[in-house]
Structure 1
Amino acid sequence: MRLLHTMLRVGNLERSIAFYTEVLGMRLLRRQDYPEGRFTLAFVGYQDEADGAVIELTHNWDTSSYELGNGFGHIAVAVPDAYRACEEIRARGGKVVREAGPMKHGSTVIAFIEDPDGYKIELIQRDAEHG
């Protein structure tokens, strides 16, 4: 078994695809409209679906926003330098909500950003060897 994807419902698909591809550097892997169900699925990720987990962006055509709820935590992305990643993400229009620095009660360097719908994305500083 392996993890396939995390699904997020988004209010504006084009805005979300732009965020994940242009701000976070993922690729749009596939996109499919389902006119009968009035929704579109778009899959984004750093690698092909056969090689790793991706994010499924679900856009229900008749819904422009969602309440995030308190059960969802965050998506985590490994980065080589969290401080630099925050600078680059901010320069590309992304929103940093917790600056890079050591986590509470630990030494791992982390940061948090938000996507256009308010979903949290944790940046975890890891060297290339530990991905």
Structure 2
Amino acid sequence: MSGRRALHFVFKIGDRPTTITFFKDVLGMKILRHEEFEEGCKAACNGPYDGKWSKTMVGYGPEDNHFVCELTYNYGLSSYKLGNDFLGLTIKSSQVLLNAESQNWPIHDRDNSPFVEAPGGYRFYIQDEPQPTDTDPVQKVSLASSDKVHSLKYWSELLGLKVYSQSEKQALLGYADDQAKLELQFIGQNVDHAKAFGRIAFSCPSVQLKLIESEIKAVGGTILTPFVSLDTPGKATVEVVILADPDGHEICFVGDEGFRELSRMDPEADRLLSEAMAADHSDEWFSKKGKSKAEA
């Protein structure tokens, strides 16, 4: 579909310091930008929570041409129960396994399909090959599907992703050859999003947003957040529409023009994140109250 591109996947995290260590020192990603918010997002970017939260974008390069990870941290929550919806993110890099060894980070299924787990249990599968420097190391995001026919109709016919390959058990889709792909794995059972459910994001020309919304409405599809403008303190405003596919996977479409301005790499990102973590006394506050942070 013209002008559309894959952007990022949203992960909810409970242990921010350890998670950042994993993404930086094991996966080898960079902190691209960091933002703090005093109240919940109008489009539920941080989940259905109203309190203070932060967003940290991490990846192998600029968001203009890399698929990255969005880490959302809610100050009052310590963990999120995993479902069977997110099945993994695949990275082409032999360096990740070397990093994991040097950090004493467990490598699972080393001889077959090696993967490492982020705090919280999110899986990152590693293709043990030299990490590309001219293309994005992130190859695909894998999500569960309960029904092949319904999923392909939605993602391919309605949202316009090209089907690159398919079999009885999986299908690979994307908007362009040089972008990270979406892999649907047909699990033959209901998809459970539990509390850790994420969100995949794509950009499109802003003029397409209301058209996407109307097309989904016309077929009785789910719109979680109708067309809305989202503000980020001190940065660009972006326009979004949030959908859900037949299995309830959240999908964000954002206007490309505003997003390119919002997503510029911030040379101060590392410092801003470090300062935010140093100033985060939420664990102490709960401890003084004789309480523990809640699981979502």
Equivalent position of 1:4 in the other structure: 7
1:112 aligns with 2:115: yes
Matches within 5 A, 1:71-86: 71-79=85-93, 81=94, 85-86=96-97
Q: Confirm or deny: 8 A CA contact 1:13 1:59 kept in the other structure.
A: yes
TM-score (norm 2): 0.38
The 8 Å contact of residues 26 and 96 in structure 2, kept in 1 or not, is answered as: no
SS in 2 for 1:93: coil
- TM-score normalised per structure 1: 0.81
Q: 2:108 aligns with which of 68, 92, 97?
A: 97
Distance 1:59 1:85, change over 3 A: closer
SS in 2 for 1:15: helix
Residues in 1 aligned to 2:54 and 2:96: alpha-carbon distance in whole angstroms: 30
Structure 1 residue 46 and structure 2 residue 60: aligned?
A: yes
Greater C-alpha Rg = 2
2-structure distance, mates of 1:26, 1:87: 14
Shift of 1:19: 0.9
Q: In terms of mean alpha carbon deviation, does 57-66 or 119-128 score higher? A: 119-128
Shift of 1:60: 1.1
C-alpha contact 1:74 1:122 (8 A) present in aligned 2: yes
Distance 1:85 1:22 in 2: 9
CA contact 2:27–2:96 (8 Å) conserved in 1: no
Distance 1:85 1:44, change over 3 A: closer
Which residue in 2 is equivalent to 1:63?
Answer: 77
- In structure 1, list runs of 5 or more residues that go unmatched: 103-109
Q: Is the 8 A contact 1:23 1:93 kept in 2?
A: no
Give the C-alpha shift of residue 90 in structure 1. Answer: 2.4
Distance 1:63 1:88 in 2: 29
More strand by share: 1
CA distance in 2, matches of 1:39, 1:73: 25
Partner of 1:18: 21
Higher mean C-alpha deviation, range 86-95 or range 15-24: 86-95
CA–CA distance in 1 between the matches of 2:9 and 2:121? 15
Deviates more, 1:117-126 or 1:56-65: 117-126
Q: Is the 1:43–1:56 contact (alpha carbons within 8 Å) kept by the matching residues of 2?
A: yes
State the partner residue of 2:128: 125
In the alignment of these two chains, the number of paired residues is 120
Distance change >3 Å, CA 14–CA 117, structure 1 → 2: same
CA drift of 1:51 comes to: 1.5
State the percentage of identical aligned residues: 29
Q: Is the helix fraction higher in 1 or 2?
A: 2
Query: How far apart in 2 are the matches of 1:87 and 1:68?
Result: 27
Root-mean-square deviation over aligned CA pairs: 2.0
